[in-house]
Amino acid sequence: MQFLHLRVLSTYSGLVPEFHPFLYALAVRECGRGRSSYDRLEEPPSYSAFLQNYLLPNKPVLIGPALVSSWSACSDWVRPDGLIDWTYLQAEYGHLTVTVADCSTREFSDQRREQVPFRDVVSLWEEGKGQNLYVKDWQLARALASTPSQLRTYSAFYTTPDIFRDDWMNAYYSAHTEDDFRFVYVGAAGTFTPLHRDVYTSYSWSTNVCGRKRWWLFPPEHTNFLLRKGGEEHLETAYDVRQVDPELYPNFSQAQPLIIEQESGQTIFVPSGWYHQVENLTDCISINHNWCNAVNLRSLYESMCAKVTEVEHALEDVQEMLSQGAENSPNPDGWQSDWIAIVQDVVEKDAGWNWATFWRMVRHALCLAMGRPCPVKADLWPPTPHDLMPRLDFITTRVEACYADFIKRPQREIDLVTGLKEVLSDIHGLLHG
């Protein structure tokens, strides 16, 4: 299985999703003949304004510092002169282990990573070394919440802005797992994150606590321009938009990214399915979440379908071996359960999710929206008030559309994935009970 996993990973460097037609049409209408735009807001929008103007049209927005003015991180982590307070950070968090990316070394479609104590990285930076190192995907909030006797809880340094509270991913993961999608990023000037699209076309929001970033954002209708020549076969996107080989990526010049410079204190909303690359223009600390909800659920669902199809194609030889080995067995169709299990295992290893995770998250979100009994860890993720989410009929309609499609899939995952039929039965009951 390890060989299969590596093989699939090397195939996956850029997934091209089937973007939901409704969101796509809105995006095209907003962009106008392929030309995208974004808004700059000095004051935070209300939730209803954010829903109507940015979530539904799937449009990026840059919001001023007033959105996060209550965060203690914006004062504790920053010196009076506006630079990062390394002394404070090292004293508070230096003993914690972080994931560090070496931005000078590429591995597949990402950068080489290793686990080190945060104090060691800070020491290098203070000595003027390690300028290629970038602390990424640091789940600091989760780490602090798990050791309350030693450190302050995560709420001490930030809280999720109201407009981003309707977050099905972090609500589910906080209640049911030891994982989540809440991250801190810390990097020196010049460090960057290569071109990518967030997991399963999820949204992201990112706040610069200190420092400046440059973003390149590509709308979903420009995705094909980002693909390597023969994109249908390779499914590989460009790695660094600043250095693109026109021989390998002949259509890249047709892409028209939004280029946004994000200042200290500003928050950017990255819509569903938008590829993006990010560069730190100065030493920079940011807090960001990946998230989803009913608005982009269809896009997530369709990207899940696409991911499963890619894995199936990558492992066709395994499917053939299983089917041939079962020809003379008492149950010649029994191999299909093994096949589905292998596919779902590889899908989960590559991106962290599979169908079981997806539908359990949907069930959890429906229960919360309907006020039904549901596990909640309020210290990690408080329940979202109903006035910070769409109307219930909007939510159920979005879920129903995905449910109706899924139960008709020829792969029959509803029957062949252990425990999935029970989850889907619960969802059906919530929708029609």
Q: Residue 203 in contact with residue 296, Cβ under 8 Å? A: yes
Q: Is 398 part of any domain?
A: yes
* pLDDT tens across the length of the chain (433 residues): 333 333 333 333 333 333 343 333 333 333 333 457 999 999 999 999 999 999 999 999 999 999 999 999 999 999 999 999 999 999 999 999 999 999 999 999 999 999 999 999 999 999 999 999 999 999 999 999 887 555 444 457 999 999 999 999 999 999 999 999 999 999 999 999 999 999 999 999 999 999 999 999 999 999 999 999 986 656 799 999 999 999 999 999 999 999 999 999 999 999 999 999 999 999 999 999 999 999 999 999 999 999 999 999 999 999 999 998 887 777 777 899 999 999 999 999 988 899 999 999 999 999 999 999 999 999 899 999 999 999 999 999 999 999 999 999 999 999 999 999 999 999 999 999 8
Is 311 found in the same domain as 287? no
Distance between CA 399 and CA 401 in Å, rounded?
5
Residue 47 has phi, psi (to 5 degrees) of: -60, -45
| pTM assigned to the model | 0.90
Is 263 found in the same domain as 116? yes
Q: Is 12 part of any domain?
A: no
Beta strands in 197-340 (DSSP E): 203-210, 213-218, 258-262, 267-270, 275-280, 284-291
Give the domain-ending residue among 271, 291, 311: 291
Q: Residue 286 in contact with residue 185, Cβ under 8 Å? A: yes
Is 265 found in the same domain as 378? no
Give the pair of three-digit tokens for residue 118. 């945060």
Q: Is 243 part of any domain?
A: yes
Give the pair of three-digit tokens for residue 281. 């223009």
Pick from 282, 260, 279: which is nearest to 269 by CA?
260
Per 3-state DSSP, the chain is made up of helix, strand and coil in percentages (nearest 5) of 45, 20, 35
Is 346 found in the same domain as 269? no
Q: What does the DSSP assignment read for 116-145?
A: EEHHHHHHHHHTT--TTEEEEEE-HHHHHH
Range of the domain at 322: 297-432
Give the domain-ending residue among 269, 291, 313: 291
Is 235 found in the same domain as 198? yes
Task: Tell the burial category of 81 from Cβ atoms under 10 Å away from its Cβ (0-12, 13-18, 19+).
Answer: exposed
H-assigned helices in 131-238 = 140-145, 168-176, 231-234
Is 305 found in the same domain as 272? no
Is 224 found in the same domain as 307? no
Q: Residue 195 in contact with residue 225, Cβ under 8 Å? A: no
